[in-house]
Structure 1
């Protein structure tokens, strides 16, 4: 069974990696799809995010990383995926994600959404929080992989 895990991953965090690692044990293949969020201005270009994710999951043999802009269900059909994977941290995530799952079901009845709750230690973690901490000079290397932390520090050193 193929699962699609879409997101902006700007940057990828240990919370995302927790979901990816656990999903790799549940599904034959997990495709991590870097997608644009029209409501956000990314810190990193899509190519850089793909590189960051690739380095972070190189130890997992059933993970594919790709980029797509458009409806996730269009991409899922193109890849013959059966599952959309979504991570949940807090109750507000569930409300938003459930609405999206219901909407996707009206567009692609054969595609199921599977929710994975993040592990407790990552329940607070978001890419936005990581960027905010780094922007004001705080440490983020306990929230993201070392190579991603270096990239973040380089970005904010330029501003």
Structure 2
């Protein structure tokens, strides 16, 4: 039997409640959900890859379907490496969809066997982004209301 393996790629810098919401809702759709921390050349990370991976492990420690891996290079190549047939992306706003659609189209051109699945954010998490959370942290604010309990900074 073929397992339905899905990759949820991102920087997760840091993991937010918005990410957790998408992951928890997607867990029931797939046999395995790999949270892939990818290198994004256009982003400067605030937290180390090791720290981000550890936070994800701690948040999902009781979820055997969820794992975390760090990867470099093209997402479609990493999908092939882990036998994932699906890529999961979270959508907050229409602008997210336009950007994510372009990436999904490119991925489909590179690897037609992959499907991108979009899940929309729950209303209470739609305004949370890692970028905004990093800005709050950099400026000395308390961002705990946007983060899972395991994410300590």
Counterpart residue number, 1:139: 142
Give the Å deviation of 1:105.
0.5
TM-superposition CA deviations, 1:113-137 (whole Å, max 9, x none): 0000011111011001001112222
Counterpart residue number, 1:84: 87
Counterpart residue number, 1:29: 32
Kindly tell me the number of residue pairs found equivalent between the two proteins. Answer: 150
Counterpart residue number, 2:104: 101
Which residues of structure 2 form unaligned runs of 5+?
Answer: none
Give the aligned CA root-mean-square deviation in angstroms. 0.8
Length-normalised TM-score, structure 1: 0.92
Q: Which one scores higher on RCO, CA 8 angstroms, separation ≥ 6?
A: 2
Length-normalised TM-score, structure 2: 0.95
Give the Å deviation of 1:42.
0.3
Give the Å deviation of 1:65.
0.5
Q: Which residues of 2 match residues 101-140 of structure 1 at below 5 A?
A: 101-140=104-143
Give the Å deviation of 1:146.
2.6
Off by >6 Å, runs of 4+ in structure 1 = none
Which residues of structure 1 form unaligned runs of 5+?
Answer: 152-159
Give the Å deviation of 1:57.
1.1
